[in-house]
Amino acid sequence: MKYSIESIYFQAGQYDAYCLVEFYYGSNAHLKFGKSIHGMLVYDSEERKNLERKISLELSEIPFTDGFVRFNSSDNIEELLNEGFLVSEVERFATVGGIGPKVYGISNEKEIPNTILVPFSNRDSNLESWLLLELRNFNNRIEANNTLLPEEILRYNTIVYILKGEEEFPVELLDENSLTVKSDALFWILSHKYKNSLESGKLKITPEEYLQFRILLASRKTSRLEIVKRQLGISDKQLKEFENSSPDNYKEFIGLILRFEITAITFNYFSKPIYWDFDRYIHIFLRHYKSFFIRSSTKGQGTLFLYSYKNILNLIRIVIEHNKKDIEEAWLHGKEFRKSGRQSLYFNGNYFSIRINANGKLTQFHPQEY
């Protein structure tokens, strides 16, 4: 036997390297998969932990074990992904295209691989430009037959109202029972007027509207901080301690919770949009973001994302989109999509637990401990 489970992990698996595998002529693997396959080795969290422990031993103590290793082949052979090939049937094993740095087990901040940063400046952008961009994104989704969430429909109608500059509120913005403007729509309208006043240097909001805006803003802050305290198991005192000990992080934190709106996380090519609400945003994001770590949390904040804030949402999107087939399969049977423990999803050196309910709501997403 030329190779073992441990030796190919040491050579390629620990680096998530792209591999070439050639089988002995006439072997079972050769008859099933052909002379050679290309792709990447696949390990669940327990397999990887076990192999990491083994390769850390003295060279003479590392086992030389035969067995099956799963493989994500370039031509997507299901049997290789689910069952794998027998290592003793491998005649030649090599990495292709070089080996990158090891990303499993590190604790430094990570970047998402294979992404291109496009320089963008909002120096010359104004409020109307941002609204037009948001409206265009909504229209593109509508044209592509992507469903808008109820909250997104309200946002869409509010943007249309703001851009038209009409005085009378359309029926789409009114509460069916009270016939008053829905609170979220009114908040967006008054927020736009306030920001427009700051941007233009001209008064775009009346004193009465400004007072109403401040009341809505305070209400939003109070109600959302209550959710934060409930999710983290903290008190006003502990929140104040966070503010005093990390004023810059606290300021960023308040800005994020005030700006959050219910929106689709990903929608392209899915049968329904995948989204999170504020409660889940706090549960998923705040509890696992290093800049908002509060040691006094009675519910614990678990493992932390090794990414900057701007990359966490991109990370979630990538992991979700990589598993589109399985998500749609779960929905087809009216079930939630759930992966945890040994079934956790692997990406860029981390295993992630995830849960998406049958309606498309993301209810859980966090990295597992190494």
β-strand partners of 72: 40
What is the per-residue burial (b if ≥16 Cβ within 10 Å, else e) of 123-153?
Answer: eeeebeeebeeebeebeebeeeebebbeebe
What number is the average pLDDT over the span 86-102?
Answer: 95
Tokens 């401990």 label which residue?
369
What is the pTM for the complete model shown?
0.87
**Distance between CA atoms of residues 183 and 319, nearest Å:** 34
* Average pLDDT over all residues of the chain: 91
Instruction: Judge whether residue 133 has pLDDT over 90.
Output: yes
Total Cβ atoms within 10 A of residue 97: 9
Q: Which of 221, 279, 281 is nearest to 251 (CA)?
A: 221
Give the separation between CA 215 and CA 253, rounded to whole angstroms.
Answer: 20
Q: For residue 68, what are its two tokens?
A: 């099956």
Q: 38 pLDDT exceeds 60? A: yes
pLDDT of residue 125: 61
pLDDT score recorded for residue 3? 98
Largest Cα–Cα distance of the chain, in whole Å? 85
Average pLDDT score over residue span 13-27: 97
Identify the pLDDT of residue 295: 65
> pLDDT digits over 98-126, tens only?
899 999 998 888 998 877 655 555 555 68
Res. 158 pLDDT band, cuts 50 70 90: very high
For helices 324-332 and 309-322, the axis angle rounded to 10 degrees is 60
**pLDDT (tens digit per residue) in 282-335:** 988 877 887 776 766 666 666 889 998 889 999 999 999 999 999 999 999 999
- State the average pLDDT over residues 70-94: 96
For CA atoms 213, 218, 223, 227, the dihedral sign is positive
Rounded CA gap, 40 and 73, in Å?
A: 7
Cα→Cα distances 89→39, 129, 341, Å: 17, 61, 30
Q: Do 46 and 342 form a contact (C-beta atoms < 8 A)?
A: yes
Distances (CA, A) of 94 to 22, 33, 47, 48, 120: 9, 17, 21, 20, 41
- Closest C-alpha to 39, from 68, 14, 8, 73: 73
Give the per-residue pLDDT at 299: 63
Q: Return the closest-CA partner of residue 318 out of 20, 112, 94.
A: 112
Residues, the chain: 370
Q: Which residues pair with 41 in a beta bridge?
A: 71
201 φ/ψ sector (left φ>0, alpha ψ -120 to 50, else beta): left
Give the pLDDT score at 29: 97
**What are the tokens at 346?**
């692997």
Cα 265 to Cα 53: distance, rounded to the nearest angstrom: 37
The beta-carbon contacts of 243-248 under 8 Å, at least 24 apart in sequence, are 246/291
- What does the block give as tokens for 319? 């992991």
Residue 118: predicted pLDDT: 56
**Is there a contact between 114 and 238 (Cβ–Cβ < 8 Å)?**
no
Q: What's the mean pLDDT in 267-290?
A: 88
- Indicate the pLDDT class of residue 149, thresholds 50, 70 and 90: very high
179 vs 134, 167, 254, CA distance in Å? 27, 16, 31
* Proportion of the chain above pLDDT 70, given as a percent: 95
**Which pLDDT band, with edges at 50, 70 and 90, does 134 fall under?**
very high
